[in-house]
Amino acid sequence: MAPDFLASVCLGAMVTEVLQNYLGGRWIAGAGSGAALYDPVRGTELVRVDSSGLDIAAGFNFARKEGAELRSLTYRQRGEMLSAIARMLQGRREIYFEIAQANSGTVSNDSAVDIDGAIYTISTYAKLAETLGDRQFLFDGEATPLAKEAAFQGRHVLVPTRGLALLINAFNFPAWGLWEKAAPALLSGVPVVVKPATATAWLAQAMVRDVVAAGILPVGALSVICGSSAGLLDALEPFDLVSFTGSAETASTVRSHPAIARRSVRANIEADSVNSAILVDGEAGGGPAFDLLVREVVREMTVKSGQKCTAIRRILVPASQYDAVADAISSRLSKVTVGDPRNNRVRMGALVNRAQYVAVQEGLAQLRKETKILHDGASHDLIDADPAVACCLGPTLLGAPDPDRSEIVHDIEIFGPVATLMPYRDEAHALALARRGQGSLVASVYGSGAAALSRVALELADSHGRVHVVSPEVADVQTGHGNVMPQSLHGGPGRAGGGEELGGARALNFSHRRAAYRGRR
């Protein structure tokens, strides 16, 4: 896809390209007409994707065989490749921003979360490679004597798996979702096959296309399939990996597939998450911690129109602060401008497509059965966007005055600009409400007292993959409730999927096999 085509698409040209797949070391068009990707604000067709007719098994075998050249390299050499990828992507950053604006309907700051976050993640793992050095395997722990005589010892090692990594990503982060999975796998020496979500596959395909064109990686090390996922899991073999991000319903299908259930393909799952933000009891209304909570809630509701797996869905505050927090959040939300991201006055763009727009509206209708509206997203006039066409929706704050009697507010994740405020009686009650999410990716805690913050954070650790603690001392440097950093774990127990990604060097564990060596010292 040439830059002049990109310009024509963004201008609403009538010609639609069908994006090709890269499999078996070559670009291949699907056999059908494909599924259309749309501008979620203007409703215009942008490109099409199609994977019908591909020989998936042959393509996977090619990746395993030819992509295995990665394994013959050292961590340092693979890290140098990641550095080259990051530099190349940085040089084409503006083109990726145009694609994101057109296909995802995101404002510039939201596109940066995805695109710049991807480049930062790649760079982080490139730097990690420098510490791993000129090796092709990793030690796991120290040697341990296994007999009375110390001459016979055992030690564990980690070696790259001899399969491939199938990466199935969600629609909300087509750039970051690709590279937060691919960077650790490639650094480990494992070839990857990327299956981006159809709705926003354009950006992921463009990035893979550019990496392939630059000749940075061995042939077969990086593949992309755009369109249907049919047949992908069928082609997996015992030493392969699959990493999935998406709905709990689809995750269940992945888990029950024979590749995982019978052939023991290693799987990592990230699914639904009803994340919480908690204001510690005893904080003054309008005080620093109070304001930090309010600002973070508004940010999480509006960044990428709330389409983040880590976004705040439930806000837990002391009962005495319920009304004040409701007023403060509502006041800030009322100032959020919604519409076409091409207009510089717009702060929040669109939901990704009409299906997502309908799903959010349906979820809102369910939540409204046991909540009341504190700020109505429908009150926002759209800027440069036709309400009959655009998938734009203003941020909506709901209130659940009696959260113990509520059920669906703890169970439904509305993947959009919606959050529910609820009061708690005491610390134990707040923790119980947070745990009703049945396992989440992240909870954030706001307060000024070190003892209370530490106590609450540790109590939340068993049911959350990450606990984000915010006090006035870190107000200006904290990275944000929903911001996933490559140095920290991303994943969560229970309904969040039970998976783990990133976490610095920990991410390499998924792409390595652990073995025990036993023998002479």
* Alpha carbon separation from 37 to 12, 40, 49, 250, 512 (Å, rounded): 13, 9, 8, 21, 36
For 308, which DSSP code?
A: -
Separation between Cα atoms, residue 390 and residue 343, nearest integer Å: 14
**Closest to 334 (Cα-Cα) out of 358, 301, 308:** 301
Beta-carbon neighbour count of residue 235 at 10 Å?
18
β-pair type (35-38, 152-160):
unpaired
Task: Specify whether 270 is catalytic.
Answer: yes
- The Cα 298–Cα 394 span in angstroms is 12
Which residue of the set 17, 180, 270, 413 is catalytic? 270
- What residues form DSSP beta bridges with 152? 520
> Cα-Cα-Cα-Cα dihedral of 175, 181, 183, 184, to 10°?
160
CA distance linking residue 421 with residue 314, whole number of Å: 6
**Cα 196 off chain centre by:** 12
Q: Of 226, 309, 391, 392, which one is the catalytic site residue?
A: 309
Q: Where are the extended beta strands (E) located within 447-506?
A: 464-470, 489-490, 501-502
Q: What backbone phi and psi angles, to 5 degrees, belong to 165? A: -115, 115
Which residues belong to the active site? 270, 309
